[in-house]
Structure 1
């Protein structure tokens, strides 16, 4: 759980970095090229800050939540016992987001912190007296910035492309179209991939968790598989090519059990994880609080935790019912009567067994309402308070296989696509499919990547975001809600920004 050269996410040299969370602020790096960036290690110490900012898209914070709330796999009901109700989140869940939504506003700040931090680091690398020695590190920083722009484009569509380390209050950024942002991300990632090392040429354990060519190729595959949504033009062949770039290395494979990817003991030794964020809360280097937020209070007894979880994040019956009983992935959803590992009932202080039921009331749910997702298992975890040291996973090889399957199916090769989907299903002992539809592919992705931040853009791509209904979300959604509104406070700070249509 380390970054090469001893750099940990969140442990930075005393460097001021741009975080450009508001477009009217003049924040910029104060690194002096004449006194800093003499070695690659010094350069990487600042790049680590970009990794840390980007990790929020995988952590259980607003950049992750803002997408999850809008799907049929995530709900945070208000509790009758007090707490958790937030109308901002309910509005996202019901697809009724307004420009003043505070969850979206916080997510915007966090996403643009990635971009602002990267802008400052990139500028300082480029003007460094040792810039010629930092080609790979500069590519790394630009790829990380492109990841940030990917999420900005995915969530808000039409956003400013701004690459300077400081904002001129007299010349504020203007809005670019989603298609223009798409092109910028594509160009930046393709250029970065040329200068990044391949997983085949690095010591996998020592280099972990830094970006490789293959991590960028996987992100490009994600960009291309959604290209028709983002740019108006389908790019299935390009998605297929990027998937093959990863597969043909021969360096990746599915772990024996899907849960292995999320254990604290796997990390840099995983053959499946392509891009993860290194976490070590004991050294103030990030935190993983999925257990804290996603488990009931009685999970403290069930898993022998050093704290009582907050009984918050849950999932619906729609997500649970996607799994066959024989599918090992279903074991990661906790539902019905709860027991200890030895089968003994999990009892509260009154001797009553905890029975988890579907959410019936999103305003005042009982404490046992909502099925729970055990995404990051607490096995062999080192705790720092309520934070675990499981690394946060962003990209997995299973995604590459399923994106390739989708690209093949959409271009007429259903036979090979079926083989790839069954490869993923077989790992979890799910029944092998004998034929394939686009609905099969969408549902397989929902089963495989529950709570990994994929579902919203998958539902948009397959159309179910607009046509589907599920618990509490009972009406269809107009197409314009496929992107969120630009936050009111951002437009107030920068009148050059244009609000998205119909908001």
Structure 2
């Protein structure tokens, strides 16, 4: 499927040129009447929207601002030069300003995805052949809704705009977070009707959206409804997770890491929604190894490049794992060795010893524990780009979302075995009782660096009340959303800044 997706992406680049921003007036050079004669031609546009949405789990700014500010992700400046960025440090310390460049770029990426989806949907709807591909239109609507989900999650009160072009004399205004929630819910529920079930498609359909993928997205939406609207939707969360479970199409892999190997698009039965990556054909790239690993991992894993020694995690993240928990082995800490136990040493014969970050402004190169999220086993490299598909939703999330919703609905007895399924898979001890903290911590262990942690911490309250390395004071709740970027307020005077910013 990687090759077929790559071929479609080449075609998508033609259609998407000039229509990828809410501020962009040009619609595109191809007429709907002369194009989209077949479903394959229609899909060639939608694949580009998939690629843009992938930034929420790729190593780019939407992913970064979903992880910065949590107790599992930091990028310290290095004493040897490089990596210092005050914008990132301000997010880490919960001191974001409207002028923050990192959150500003993330806004641009997400609204580019939304703008592209708007243009594609309008073009598809204008085609005289649109009745032949309702599923493709549904995909585009669900992908746009996904973009709005992230915009709502990160900035709260964002404009809902569904046209392909913006009238500069009638610029969009903010919608409330609750209004955006209702829009996302309505669009996803409408789209799911025209999408196939995973039970009725072949393996070659991967990685396109299925009913079950949208049900999983709706479960995530409902799980956080109390934060977004003030009204919890635990029963709705359970209903959506049950739709995924009852499909019988998914199960837990023997090891969590199997979901993140280069062969994950072929072998994993746990992945519900992922983004296809094939850097050898210019169809996306996975750069986790480049940005997250220490330089000596070049020789440890025989990499064709030297990793940039950037992304790190905290002692607090490591301390959540029991010693026997297999997920803990993917965190790199302390004296480093090769797989055979031989010390990993530099050119001077000094063994690499990873220690906690002591100075986030000027850290030594060995400061910061690392997370080997996407493993190098079986990778086909294109320079520093890996071909591990980028994972957004997994079946383990379905089980833990259902467990949390059951617990909050008062059914602790039904929630406990779901959490223990996840723990047993990773050789963690079996829980005999359950608390909300158990559930939050289990999510942190299971989904480290998968873009969930900030959203989870806000829902559980620990984003505001918790303290950890470098974050030593409580955070006011209004910082649960980021400020609307200053450049967006300048470009569009109809937008209003979020409260207290």
Length-normalised TM-score, structure 2: 0.98
The alignment covers a number of residue pairs equal to 501
Shift of 1:3: 7.3
Q: List aligned pairs for 1:267-416, cutoff 5 A.
A: 267-416=265-414
SS of corresponding position for 2:200: coil
The Cα offsets for residues 81-102 of structure 1, whole Å up to 9 and x where unpaired, read as 0000000000000000000000
> Could you say which residue in structure 2 is the equivalent of 1:138?
137
Say whether residues 1:425 and 2:431 are aligned partners: no
CA distance in 2 between partners of 1:71 and 1:274 (Å): 25
> Could you say which residue in structure 2 is the equivalent of 1:479?
477
CA distance in 1 between partners of 2:37 and 2:377 (Å): 41
Query: RMSD value over aligned CA atoms?
Result: 1.2
> Could you say which residue in structure 2 is the equivalent of 1:108?
107
Query: Is the Cα–Cα contact under 8 Å of residues 209 and 268 in structure 1 kept in the other structure?
Result: no
The Cα offsets for residues 417-475 of structure 1, whole Å up to 9 and x where unpaired, read as 00000000000000000000000000000000000000000000000000000110100
SS of corresponding position for 1:489: helix
Query: Is the Cα–Cα contact under 8 Å of residues 18 and 24 in structure 2 kept in the other structure?
Result: no
Aligned match for 1:463, one of 458, 461, 467: 461
CA distance in 2 between partners of 1:156 and 1:362 (Å): 26
Query: Is the Cα–Cα contact under 8 Å of residues 18 and 27 in structure 2 kept in the other structure?
Result: yes
CA distance in 2 between partners of 1:29 and 1:81 (Å): 46
CA 1:10–1:422: 2 relative to 1, 3 Å: farther
Query: Is the Cα–Cα contact under 8 Å of residues 72 and 317 in structure 2 kept in the other structure?
Result: yes
Say whether residues 1:28 and 2:27 are aligned partners: yes
Shift of 1:143: 0.2
Query: Is the Cα–Cα contact under 8 Å of residues 16 and 48 in structure 2 kept in the other structure?
Result: no
Shift of 1:163: 0.3
CA distance in 2 between partners of 1:81 and 1:9 (Å): 39
Query: Is the Cα–Cα contact under 8 Å of residues 69 and 93 in structure 1 kept in the other structure?
Result: yes
Shift of 1:119: 0.4
CA 1:8–1:303: 2 relative to 1, 3 Å: farther
Superposition misfits of 4+ residues, deviation over 4 angstroms: 3-11, 17-20
CA distance in 2 between partners of 1:373 and 1:110 (Å): 25
CA distance in 2 between partners of 1:344 and 1:470 (Å): 33
CA 1:180–1:398: 2 relative to 1, 3 Å: same
Query: Is the Cα–Cα contact under 8 Å of residues 293 and 311 in structure 2 kept in the other structure?
Result: yes
The Cα offsets for residues 247-279 of structure 1, whole Å up to 9 and x where unpaired, read as 001110001100000001121431100000000
> Could you say which residue in structure 1 is the equivalent of 2:125?
126
Shift of 1:4: 6.0
CA 1:252–1:469: 2 relative to 1, 3 Å: same
Shift of 1:12: 2.4
Shift of 1:33: 1.5
CA distance in 2 between partners of 1:189 and 1:284 (Å): 30
CA distance in 2 between partners of 1:124 and 1:91 (Å): 41
> Could you say which residue in structure 2 is the equivalent of 1:202?
201
CA distance in 1 between partners of 2:240 and 2:45 (Å): 29
> Could you say which residue in structure 2 is the equivalent of 1:222?
220
Shift of 1:38: 0.3
Query: Is the Cα–Cα contact under 8 Å of residues 16 and 116 in structure 2 kept in the other structure?
Result: no
> Could you say which residue in structure 2 is the equivalent of 1:186?
185
Shift of 1:60: 0.5
CA distance in 2 between partners of 1:486 and 1:201 (Å): 42
CA distance in 1 between partners of 2:17 and 2:123 (Å): 10
Query: Is the Cα–Cα contact under 8 Å of residues 277 and 390 in structure 2 kept in the other structure?
Result: yes
SS of corresponding position for 2:489: helix
CA 1:209–1:451: 2 relative to 1, 3 Å: same
Aligned match for 2:253, one of 228, 252, 255: 255
> Could you say which residue in structure 1 is the equivalent of 2:95?
96
CA distance in 2 between partners of 1:408 and 1:251 (Å): 22
> Could you say which residue in structure 2 is the equivalent of 1:14?
14
SS of corresponding position for 1:393: strand
> Could you say which residue in structure 1 is the equivalent of 2:52?
53
CA distance in 1 between partners of 2:10 and 2:478 (Å): 37
Shift of 1:30: 3.2
CA distance in 1 between partners of 2:459 and 2:365 (Å): 34
The farther-off stretch of 6-15 and 364-373 is: 6-15
CA 1:317–1:420: 2 relative to 1, 3 Å: same
Unpaired stretches in structure 1, ≥5 consecutive residues? none
CA distance in 1 between partners of 2:229 and 2:256 (Å): 33
Length-normalised TM-score, structure 1: 0.98
